[in-house]
Amino acid sequence: MPKERVTDIVERLALPIVEAAGLELVDVEYKKEGANWYLRVFIDKPEGVDIDDCSRVSEQLSDKLDEVDPIPNSYFLEVSSPGAERPLKKPADFERAIGEYVHISLYEPEAGQKVFEGTLTAFDSEQLTLLVRRKGVEKTVVIPLDKVAGARLAIEF
């Protein structure tokens, strides 16, 4: 049986804590940066999270992680908002982002490009539709979901 990833374990432990606080678990990252490991848990709610939300989740999750001890090495736990460029991972994320400006990167080129930015106009289980503006001309681009390597909200300049 394959070993469970740290992010999956932490997500399973964090989800009941986050939901009990009336928040949404957006993402979990476990990364090495320099000599240190960082466990980052991103939370949100419609009106945005504040320092009290982050602190409450951090304290409860830290206690749970100490109890279960699923991570063999030392790490820094960070609980925060996903920020203005929130990742889009779950179907609900994409549905909520319809009408928003997004950044999409692909595994392989579609219409000769691997990166698109535009307004998400539609989403279903197989594809997403963007309205892309280039040199003053608007164009609709349909991207198969299985080609999406990463997606996030973007800030339009």
Please calculate the CA angle 131-27-12 and round it to the nearest 5 degrees: 140
- Spatial CA neighbour of 84 closest among 108, 49, 51: 49
- 10: closest CA among 38, 35, 36? 38
Q: What domains appear along the chain, each with residue ranges and CATH number?
A: 6-80 (3.30.300.70), 91-153 (2.30.30.180)
pLDDT of residue 1: 40
- Inform me whether the pLDDT recorded for 112 exceeds 90: no
% of the chain residues with pLDDT over 90: 80
Span 5-27, mean pLDDT? 95
In tens, the pLDDT along 119-157 reads 999 999 899 999 998 888 999 999 999 999 999 999 988
pLDDT higher for 79 or 2? 79
10 vs 2: which has the higher pLDDT: 10
pLDDT of residue 38: 96
